[in-house]
Chain A
Amino acid sequence: MKKRGIGIGCMYYGMGYGFSRPDVSAAEVEICEDGSIIVRSGEVDYGQGSDTIFCQMVAEELGIRYDTIQLITADTFATPNAGPTSASRLTYVTGNAMVKASRAIKKTLQSVAEEILGERDLLFLDEEIFSESHPERRISFRQLAKEGHLRGLPMVETAWHDITTKDVNPETGQGDAYSTYAYAAQLAEVAVDTETGEVEVLRIVAAADVGKAINPSNVEGQIEGGVAMGLGYALTEEIKEEGGYLKTRNLGEYMIPTSMDVPPIDPHIVEVPVSSGPYGAKGVGEPALIPTAPAILNAIANAIGVRVTELPANLENLHRLIREKERD
């Protein structure tokens, strides 16, 4: 018989490393003579989309198109250290470095533009710099970049952002371990086949507080990807080991969900800005994944009254629990 259930999973998660562990990130923004931009940072985009949002941040600060930016990343020979892509920290830590470096170089550009245009109320918008009160007084970003170079001004800025926190009290464990926290909640609807132990996840509704979504469709993608991983974690993924040897040797044996297994996902972006984040933003990488398994396990409990305490809740494990319950 198939039985349906609904479950909720909630989480909060400390951004970055916390507990006094060094958590720093650098970014370097250079404006070339032709007005094009080179950004260097040790950050690694392994698919989550950080390259895109860093270009967006620099473009936002300088009033230029984000596709005019050339990004050089993850090269210890050429880029300043940004720390690892982990702990859901890149948007929050490296993002701040990006904004800081952009603002520093913007200050230099602003002083040149003030001198040329004779106005101080300047806006950087759509590749132009103009006076808000006298909009006819304007200069293209490209021309301004050239003027900066002609004056021999520093057209490259490096920024370093540090979110290292104090440690908690070692005796009481009390204190504020992290710079900030992310929050997320998910709902899962499942159908459990009591005859085989098979669990079908029918739907996931996932809400994540990201502070500010720098790129909303990117955030949705992160949430959907996180849910798919959480689904595998809950139901199928298992590393088998025997006497120190790995028995699960390939992706034919390590069962990640296929597109056929991933249910409709309804992502909700919650934006409660955090003052310490760039534009109020914080990370979503792990927060998108963490609530999925508990939501699914709670849904299973809701459906058949069986508590799963060991992962994965695969065919054999779940059916054993169902049989044990029937025996009682």
Chain B
Amino acid sequence: MQRFQFYNPRSVEDALNFLAEKGERSKIIAGGTDLIPGLRLEEIRPDFVLNIPEINPFRGIKEMDHSFWIGPTTTFTEMVESNLLSRSFPALVQSAASVGGPQIRNRGTIGGNIANASPAADVLPALLAHGGELELQSKRNGKRIIPLAEAILSPYKTCFRSDEILTGIILKKLELGTRSAFEKLGRRKAMARARMNLTLLLRLNHREEVSELRIVPGAVMPVAKRMDRTERMLLGKKPEPLLIEAASKTLAEEMVEVTGARWSTEYKIPVLKNIFKRMMKQLLIV
């Protein structure tokens, strides 16, 4: 194991001061499930490692008037066990439950999943579908809030500045009647990197037309994103089987536009279409 200095800040202020000075040579550790392997493989060589899980204001799940706030060092297990989240964002909770195995879920955190920005992150697509926003803080600039959709620039790269800490994740409450679903496809039932995952959010109006739809596939593109074109195809229309079939084709096209044709495309195209159609069917039965 390489050498570095391990710093245990006593407060948010302490952590921000530390990063203001040494941010460029530091890495922040929360659960460590991504950072430790990176250190061991010497993919990263920080001089300082800043340990944040013991800072209390970074933990927990709170309900506000119009939104929920999730502390960045909230573990996946805490998300899975949260009644608040299970009631309000079942698809997000399902995505947290699909992470690794019990040991990983006990250590790994929502903030870490975002900051690591892996293309195969399990929770990111669900957060994107829920319109997640990130609260970032630094000594120099104070607080700023940005949409998660703008935070991830490329695989493993975020727009976070070196003196900034992710201090909270904000999810707006969903409108009544919003249905959601999450599915992960892996090579085995636990400890599996996602081969593909898909989060859907759907709301119908009183005429049974699609009034809201969010589609976010994960692990199939370098950076997960909402599939706008497919969403627009269905908006304002009745989700008839023929239209869903057509939408599934557009969805696959949107994916290929981003990734180009690769060895795995011949698998991903039909399977993404199949999973989309299957999940739409499930959501429409409800």
A196 in contact with B190 given A319-B270, A320-B266 (CB within 8 Å): no
Residues from chain B with a CB closer than 8 A to the CB of A259 are 190
- B192 and A196 within 8 A (CB): no
User: In whole angstroms, how far apart are the Cα atoms of A257 and B189 in the complex?
Assistant: 8
Cβ contact within 8 Å between B101 and A323: no
Q: Are B188 and A257 in contact (CB under 8 A)?
A: yes
Tell me whether B271 and A258 are in contact (CB under 8 A). no
- B274 contacts A196, C-beta separation under 8 Å: yes
In the complex, whether A211 has a CB less than 8 A from a CB of chain B is no
* Choice from A236, A319, A320 contacting B188 with Cβ under 8 Å: A236
Q: Which of B187, B189, B264, B274 contacts A260 (CB 8 A)?
A: B189
Contact indicator A258/B191 (Cβ below 8 Å): yes
B195 touching A261, Cβ below 8 Å: no
A contact residues around B266 at 8 Å (CB): 320
**Measured CA separation A314–B275 after assembly (Å):** 17
Q: Which residues of A contact B275 (CB under 8 A)?
A: 195-196
Q: B185 in the interface, Cβ–Cβ < 8 Å?
A: yes
Measured between beta carbons, the chain B residues less than 8 angstroms from A197 are 267, 271
Chain A residue with minimal CB distance to B192? A255
A315 within 8 Å of B (CB atoms): yes
Q: Quick check: is B206 within 8 A (CB to CB) of the other chain?
A: no
Contact-size category for B: 10 to 19
- 1/0 per residue, CB under 8 A from A, across B254-280: the answer is 000000000010110011001100100
Cβ–Cβ contact A258 & B185, under 8 A? no
Contact partner of A195 among B187, B190, B274, CB < 8 A?
Answer: B274
Query: Is A316 a contact of B185 with CB atoms below 8 Å?
Result: no
Is A198 engaged at the interface, CB distance under 8 Å to the other chain? yes
A246-266, CB < 8 A from B: 252, 255, 257-261
Q: Is the beta-carbon distance between A316 and B191 smaller than 8 angstroms? A: no
Task: Among B101, B190, B267, point to the contact of A315 (Cβ < 8 A).
Answer: B267
Known pairs A198-B185, A315-B185, A319-B267; A258 contacts B274 (CB<8 A): no
On whether A258 and B187 interact (CB within 8 A), knowing A195-B275, A196-B274, A319-B267, the answer reads no
Cβ-closest chain A residue relative to B196? A196
Chain A interface size, as a band, is 10 to 19
Beta-carbon contacts under 8 Å, B172-196 to A: 185, 187-193, 195
User: Is B270 a contact partner of A258 (Cβ separation < 8 A)?
Assistant: no
Q: Which residues of B contact A260 (CB under 8 A)?
A: 101, 188-190
Chain A residues within 8 Å of B192, by CB: 255
Task: A316 to B267: give the CA distance in the assembly, Å.
Answer: 6
Instruction: Kindly state the separation between the CA atoms of A314 and B195 in the bound complex, as whole angstroms.
Output: 11
> Chain B residue with minimal CB distance to A323?
B270
Minimum CB–CB distance for A255 against chain B, Å: 5
Rounded to whole Å, the gap between the CB of A191 and the closest CB of chain B is 13
Residues of A near B190 (CB, < 8 A) are: 258-261
Bound form: Cα–Cα A319–B273 in Å = 13
A314-B189 CB under 8 A given contacts A195-B274, A195-B278, A319-B271: no
A320/B267 in contact, CB under 8 A: yes
Q: How far is the CA of A132 from the CA of B16 in the complex (A)?
A: 86
A316 to B270: give the CA distance in the assembly, Å. Answer: 11
Whose C-beta in chain A lies nearest to the C-beta of B185? A196
| Shortest Cβ distance from B37 into A: residue | A252
Docked-complex contact A315 and B278, CB < 8 angstroms? no
Residues on B with C-beta less than 8 A from A198 are 185
- Residues 70-128 of B at the A interface (beta carbon under 8 Å): 101
B125 to chain A, nearest CB (A): 17
Q: In the bound complex, do residue B188 and residue A195 qualify as a contact, i.e. CB atoms below 8 Å apart?
A: no
B residues in contact (CB < 8 Å) with A = 101, 185, 187-193, 195, 264, 266-267, 270-271, 274-275, 278
Q: Taking beta carbons and an 8 Å cutoff, which residues of A are in contact with B?
A: 195-198, 236, 252, 255, 257-261, 314-316, 319-320, 323
Give me the 4 closest cross-chain CB pairs, A-B, nearest first: A195-B274, A260-B189, A260-B190, A258-B190
